[in-house]
Chain A
Amino acid sequence: MSQWLASVIDRANSVDDWLRPVRQEAVAQLKQTAWPTRRTEAWRYTSLHALKDLTLAEPTAAPASTEAPAITDLNSLDIVFVDGVPTTDIGSLNTPEGVRIYALDNASEEAQTQAKKVMNQAKNASHLFGLVNDALAQQGVVIDVADGAIVEQPIRVVNYVSAGVESHNRVLVKLGAKAQATIIEHGAGQGNSMNTAFAEYLVGDEAKLEHYRFALHGADAIHIGGSHFKLGEASRLNSTIVGYGSQVSRIDTDIVHAAEHADAKMNCIYLLAPSEHFDLHSLIEHAEPNGTTEQNARGIVGDKGRAVFSGRILIHRDAQKTLAELHNRNLLLSRGAQVSTKPALEIYADDVQCAHGATIAEIEEDDLYYLQTRGISREQALVMLNFGFIQELVKQMPNKALSAWLEPLLRERFKTMEPA
């Protein structure tokens, strides 16, 4: 066992709160879990070497208050965490009608009942770091949207991490039947932090969830987390995942179609500066008939960067009439950039339509020519076309305030990724 994992278990044992049974269950499993190596399939292309003997400070009791990164015209309800500790007074938030928000460490029975409804209902039970999060996350947020509530105001959970600190936090969301909401998980921070952030979403029958996850961490960060969704009947999910690379960056996005006629659309974008790493694992499971899934993941990888995409669509025997598509496209900016991509379809039903594919994209010579015939230099045309590859997905984000904020950020980042 790694020194770090041993310390996780020690620390979990010393926490005595209402989640102790969950922590103890996780500790029991962690003790049985071997530390991943290159031969562990789920971690084959993501080295955890940097974590093995990691020792970082625990979150301080009272972190400096930090404002959420401003996003013009978003007008979101913000819940800010710094190193896992809330700086927002969650109990006194002015919540939109039909929405109840609790801190995870809320002592009331009402809050704990809501948390229990969601916790470990959507997350992959054997994910090593999901278990670590179970064992250590003491803080987080529980969001409950009542049946039929149409919530216009986006709810944003900001998760700042600072240099030298290890932190863990959790987001638990339940969307009632026919409810509609927009939830943003916004991760940011600089320096050599370590953070796990797991979110679980139960999406009620005919509910609509618009979801964003931004993992915009610095190059030295270790960030491991997941957004996990369980979809009710005829519910709709529209999700956008955006990640920078970092020292170790791993996000799992899992979607379970637990009832018929659910519709999931997920776009994933990753931009890796030179020498950065990013690993996106996605499991989309159709357990019931008539569901649709469309997933598009696109990444640009700078010199010596390493991107990993593992996308699996699993269609159970009963899930007839499923429509599922999964595409991963990558653009490598130099010979030293690498991507390991593995789209997989596993189909046990006989009446489904599925498509999947992974490509290393190349710029079309005709597109370059066209831009050049308008006076744009070849170098500049290449930048425009390369970035255009990502911008196409940015434009598809339903929230225009978010896309207007994100586009220049990604454009700036892209400029730093270009080979000199």
Chain B
Amino acid sequence: MLKIEGLHANVEGNEILKGLDMTVNPGEVHAIMGPNGAGKSTLGYVLSAREEYEVTAGKVSFKEQDLLELEVDERARAGVFLAFQYPVEIPGVSNMEFLKESVNAVRKERGQEALTAAEFLKRAKEACKQVNLPLDFLKRGVNEGFSGGEKKRNEIMQMIMLEPTLCILDESDSGLDIDALKVVADGVNSQRSDDRSFIVITHYQRLLDFIKPDFVHILADGKIVKSGGPELAKEVEASGYAWLENHEEASA
């Protein structure tokens, strides 16, 4: 589904990704862990075409298309979804209006009819319920005055509504207490299927107790330095990231 080869990317002239390789097959859950500044969030932004993130080398193919050729909104309509670590607040645009526009834009791309107002509302209510957001959130501005946890749940709610094929979760666990973390994890797990894949970016192993990954990759200094199964996350939990320095010395 997703194939990243030798990806290099700059932000404001600084090279952040330095030759990243990764393959994600349909239905797989890949966790990306790593210390702060390793380039984890950058990977999410590069995959969703954020303007300041410039790809300098490498290839990314998504469902046999050259992903790097597509604009931000085209990637979203093709099925890439990024759950933000820090979603913006847009007070003037209501959640309802925003969701309706986005759901129907994605449906149109897939050749589906726009949802009727009643059908949309029904789905939105279900999705709200699933992530434990009160219904009046739909009437409020996008993320306006939401707590950190509510913003994270709102991201998952959007993911449920948009039914993407590749979901990238950027530290969806940061700042959450254990109950909120479970709500987020349950929302994600409910969406797991044979044709939907996940890249779960996290600093801590905790989230992976609830969202069981198939593969764990350690990202350090712009590259994947180690890959393995779920046991790798446990290793990180036990020993932190300090071993990376030794690893780099060893590989240098």
Interface residues of A (CB under 8 A from B): 364-367, 369-378, 380-381, 384-385, 387-392, 395
Contact = CB atoms under 8 A, between A and B. Distances in A.
B48 A373 contact: yes
10 contacts: A369-B50, A372-B73, A373-B75, A373-B81, A373-B82, A375-B73, A376-B73, A378-B72, A388-B90, A395-B141
Interface in B64-83: 71-73, 75-77, 81-82
A365 B51 contact: yes
Nearest to B76: A375
A364 B91 CA distance: 12
Nearest to B79: A375
Contacts of B141: 388, 392, 395
B214 interface: no
B72 A369 contact: yes
Interface residues of B, number: 30
B102 interface: yes
Given A372-B73, A384-B97, A377 B105 contact: yes
Given A373-B76, A375-B77, A375-B162, A384 B101 contact: yes
A375 B88 contact: no
B45 to A, nearest CB: 9
Interface of B: 48, 50-51, 71-73, 75-77, 81-82, 84, 87-88, 90-94, 97-98, 101-102, 105-106, 109, 141-142, 158, 162
Contact of A370 (B75, B88, B162): B88
Most B Cβ at <10 Å: residue of A372, A377, A384, A387: A372
Contacts, number: 82
A376 B92 contact: no
Contacts of B76: 372-376
Contacts of A372: 71-73, 76
A142 B72 CA distance: 58
B109 A375 contact: yes
A388 B92 contact: yes
Contacts of A385: 90, 92-93
Most B Cβ at <10 Å: residue of A371, A373, A381, A387: A373
Contacts of B73: 372-373, 375-378, 381
Given A370-B90, A374-B101, 16 more contacts: A373-B81, A373-B84, A374-B98, A374-B102, A374-B105, A375-B77, A375-B106, A376-B73, A376-B76, A377-B105, A384-B97, A384-B101, A387-B92, A388-B92, A389-B92, A392-B141
A388 B50 contact: no
